[in-house]
Amino acid sequence: MTQLDSPSSFRVADTRSEPQRVAEIPNEPVAPPGVARARAYRPELQGLRALAVILVVVYHVWLGRVSGGVDVFFVITGFLIVGQLFRASDRGGIRFGSMWARMIKRLFPAALTVLLSIMVASLVWLPEQRWFQTISEVVAAATYWENWRLAIDSTDYFAQHNEASPVQHFWSLSIQGQFYVVMPLIVALVALLAKLFRLRLKGVLTAVLLAMFGTSLWYSIWLTETTQQVAYFHSLTRVWEFMLGGLLALFITSVSLPRSLRILLGWLGVIGLAICGIVLQVGTMFPGYVALWPTLSAVFVLLAGATDSKIGADRLLSSRPLEFIGNISYAFYLWHWPLLVLYLAVNGISKPGWLEGTAIIGASLLLATITYYAIEEPVRRSRIGVVRPWRAYAFGVTVLVAVLGVAQGWQMYGENLARAAVAESDSTQHPGAQVMTGAVEEQESYDEEPIPSMIALGDDIAELTGQTCEIVPGGPKVEICQSPNAATAKKRIVIVGDSHAQSLVGAFDPLVETNDWHVISMRRPGCPFSVRSELFPNRTSCVEWNKAIIPEITRLQPDAVVVMGTYQVRVGLKERLPDGFIEQWRKLYDAGIPVVAIRDNPRFDYEPTECVEEHGAEAPECIGVRSEHYHSVPPYQGRQDIPPNVRFVDLSDLYCDNYVCPPIIGNIRVYRDENHITQTYMRSMSPMVENRVKRALGW
């Protein structure tokens, strides 16, 4: 999953009617000679927005990196919103109805226009297997919880294989939207408490902001160190960045710095922002303490203010070109990412060239300009909700329902296509793994399309028919799913391990009925059945999970435990038998439980099915070479440390012949992604799996 920069406060916080006025700071102190006074008009702030969005777009399109611009926009949002809320509370109170009505008018029109456009373009140009993911994220983006959707996906092993969607950049706008709802309530509560206890509002609010800043920064550092993927999208790990801007808003009028120092701060801030994404791996290091780099850079620029110097950074930031880009920055950000993602998808590439990148940026600027002048500004300046705020809410609900309605229609269309593909399938037209055994001859061409359909590919995950699942209480999360025939079954089989072991459920599911086997699945994606964490060496969660499942397996006393018997990391490394596997098997030997160890399937550094869609099933670049995935002799042969309860089953001949590993076998798509087998193909392997498992166990 890709992590993204994004803008935050694109002209959504100003209450002025003149486009040129960016933020007003009342009650200016008189500055001594040679020291600049606080200014009511801050043109450099609009330039700071422009600089941040330019960095975001350039880094995304040309450098394929994250710039840190999102952190700048969070600081700006906190600076503007907290400042306005404080002044409103100090004057008598926050008018929630009018405030949120203005927010709807500023945020919804451009964002929902882009979402509608993305859905239409994705329907035409995006591969079908990415439709459902995109639809889900469109709904999340429109309802301002896209960041939580991505945080959840970052811990979902299967979702981690998703391509970046055209709306993934809405994650920071979701955090910003949540801030717009929560922060006014917090400030209003603080103002009420200050009034009740007759305390100065500024002092109480400062204490609250400092507490939120410190708590959030600590949590951000801790979560970034433990689960960085979640921390990146988590709302609470970003609160401190808003609070930093808010604290600055409360005290900036009290700060008087010499011009020479402000000139220095301005350039330190600008240069710091420009090089942050080059020096730091923002996508894998943020948002812990390292995010102080771009946030303090933004603070430096705001502290520098307007120096009225020919060599000041504010001279650049206040220029007409940057002011213009600052005006359209919200729309510029909204458009650049979907254009980039769709271009890459259509052309089957991972990164655009300099010429293509220039065209993407140019098209984004053009669409942003049109959006700003034709949609954003007319709605913002309209009389909708001015007298009666509820009309702005009605407007927001109307356009939101329109977007969600289109998303629902697209979802239903895709589901109908998927159902039609299943209904029309013919087993004689889709023999699958049977052609690898010679039981059925592979045809040169088939009358029907391969299954599963591309649109259903991502959801073709193995499950037991009619299964029930439960979480074992206490300790690490252990989920146990089982077939519904526990009371009458003749044999009990436990399948345990990572997602590759889970794929085997597809082959065992038909055997529940034909052999009266009770099949139980204990799965944790990314965690093979081992005493070590094979995929994530520095994580202890897999080790703890593997410890916890041994007592559960022992309690069940199954007739056999099915596990993966070899492990492949990626193409080129080939297969191996980790010592941690053998140590775990020995625990089952001590419990008197037989083990069936299955040879792993190939893993690629590309997605075979997508390659076929782009180049065709016979394209050499889409066909794996057996010798790059399998040793000529399985790595378990000749090992002297394997406990006697283990029996090995080799299924490699069902994925590869003597030379190649085809992406489509018997008119069935073999792979869901770069390494997971489709449930449809695994079910076609069921008769062979049954025979080999029975032979191995002597049943």
> Does position 264 have pLDDT exceeding 80, yes or no?
yes
> Does position 395 have pLDDT exceeding 60, yes or no?
yes
> Does position 650 have pLDDT exceeding 90, yes or no?
yes
Between 37 and 137, residue with greater pLDDT: 137
Contacts of 670 (CB under 8 A, 6+ apart): 608, 609, 655, 662, 663, 664, 677, 678, 681
> Does position 201 have pLDDT exceeding 70, yes or no?
yes
Q: How far is the CA of 489 from the CAs of 240, 504, 512, 555, 693, in angstroms?
A: 57, 19, 8, 17, 17
- Residue 308's CB is within 10 A of a number of other CB atoms, namely 12
| Cα dihedral 519, 524, 530, 534 in deg (nearest 10) | 140
Alpha carbons 508 and 688: distance in angstroms, whole number: 11
pLDDT of residue 352: 94
pLDDT of residue 540: 84
Say if residue 558 is preceded by a cis peptide, omega within 30 of 0: no
Percent share of the chain, pLDDT over 90: 74
Q: Are strands 660-661 and 624-625 parallel, antiparallel or unpaired?
A: antiparallel
Mean pLDDT score, 658-687? 94
Mean pLDDT score, 572-601? 92
Instruction: Look at 42-46, 458-462, 605-609 and tell me which has the smallest mean pLDDT.
Output: 42-46
Alpha carbons 149 and 349: distance in angstroms, whole number: 26
CA 220 to chain centre: 18
- Residue 101's CB is within 10 A of a number of other CB atoms, namely 22
> Does position 38 have pLDDT exceeding 90, yes or no?
no
- The amino acid present at 212, given as its one-letter code, is M
Give me the helices (H) in 561-644, please.
Answer: 579-590, 608-615
> Does position 33 have pLDDT exceeding 80, yes or no?
no
Cβ neighbourhood burial of 48 (10 Å; 0-12, 13-18, 19+): buried
Alpha carbons 111 and 132: distance in angstroms, whole number: 20
> Does position 675 have pLDDT exceeding 80, yes or no?
yes
> Does position 25 have pLDDT exceeding 60, yes or no?
no
pLDDT of residue 541: 85
Contact 36, 265 (CB under 8 A): no
Read off the pLDDT of residues 324-353 as tens digits, 9 standing for 90 and up.
999 999 999 999 999 999 999 998 888 999
Alpha carbons 28 and 38: distance in angstroms, whole number: 6
Write out the H or E segment, with its range, that includes residue 330.
helix 320-347
Q: Which tokens go with 654?
A: 């069902």
pLDDT of residue 140: 97
> Does position 26 have pLDDT exceeding 70, yes or no?
no
> Does position 584 have pLDDT exceeding 50, yes or no?
yes
Mean pLDDT score, 432-458? 88
Read off the pLDDT of residues 477-504 as tens digits, 9 standing for 90 and up.
778 999 999 989 999 999 999 999 999 9
Count Cα atoms within 13 angstroms, Cβ side, for 593: 27
Write out the H or E segment, with its range, that includes residue 478.
strand 478-482
Q: Which tokens go with 444?
A: 């040169």
Q: Which of 593, 587, 600, 601 is nearest to 494 (CA)?
A: 593
Between 174 and 532, residue with greater pLDDT: 174
pLDDT of residue 162: 66
Residue 526 pLDDT class (50, 70, 90 cuts): confident
Residue 445 pLDDT class (50, 70, 90 cuts): confident
> Does position 669 have pLDDT exceeding 90, yes or no?
yes
Contact 665, 435 (CB under 8 A): yes
pLDDT of residue 284: 87
Alpha carbons 106 and 374: distance in angstroms, whole number: 13
Q: Which of 368, 362, 3 is nearest to 169 (CA)?
A: 3
Contacts of 34 (CB under 8 A, 6+ apart): 258, 259
Whole-prediction pTM: 0.83
Instruction: Look at 249-258, 491-500, 566-575, 689-698 and tell me which has the smallest mean pLDDT.
Output: 566-575
Highest mean pLDDT out of 157-171, 178-192, 478-492, 518-532: 178-192
Residue ranges and CATH numbers for the domains of the chain are: 43-410 (no CATH), 460-697 (3.40.50)
Mean pLDDT score, 31-37? 38
Radius of gyration of the chain (CA): 29
> Does position 28 have pLDDT exceeding 80, yes or no?
no
Say if residue 452 is preceded by a cis peptide, omega within 30 of 0: yes
pLDDT of residue 3: 55
pLDDT of residue 159: 53
Instruction: Look at 12-21, 136-145, 210-219, 283-292 and tell me which has the smallest mean pLDDT.
Output: 12-21
- Residue 594's CB is within 10 A of a number of other CB atoms, namely 18
Q: Which of 126, 114, 115 is nearest to 414 (CA)?
A: 126
> Does position 154 have pLDDT exceeding 80, yes or no?
no
Average pLDDT value over all residues in the chain: 89
Alpha carbons 45 and 78: distance in angstroms, whole number: 13
Instruction: Give the 3-state secondary structure of 118-150.
Output: HHHHHHHHCCHHHHHHHHHHHHHHHCCCHHHHH
Alpha carbons 7 and 175: distance in angstroms, whole number: 11
> Does position 664 have pLDDT exceeding 50, yes or no?
yes
- The amino acid present at 617, given as its one-letter code, is A
Q: Which tokens go with 640?
A: 């002297």
- φ, ψ of residue 156 in degrees (nearest 5): -90, 110
Q: How far is the CA of 283 from the CAs of 30, 64, 228, 335, in angstroms?
A: 44, 11, 9, 21
Read off the pLDDT of residues 61-84 as tens digits, 9 standing for 90 and up.
999 888 999 999 999 999 999 999
Mean pLDDT score, 195-204? 96
- Tell me the β-bridge partners of 471: 479
Contact 611, 663 (CB under 8 A): yes
Read off the pLDDT of residues 221-252 as tens digits, 9 standing for 90 and up.
999 998 899 999 999 999 999 999 999 999 99
Alpha carbons 665 and 688: distance in angstroms, whole number: 15
- The amino acid present at 329, given as its one-letter code, is S
Contact 532, 543 (CB under 8 A): yes
- Residue 118's CB is within 10 A of a number of other CB atoms, namely 27
> Does position 164 have pLDDT exceeding 50, yes or no?
yes
Helix and strand numbers (H, E) in the chain are: 25, 13
Q: How far apart are the first and last CA of the chain?
A: 44
Residue 281: strand, helix, or coil: coil
pLDDT of residue 571: 57
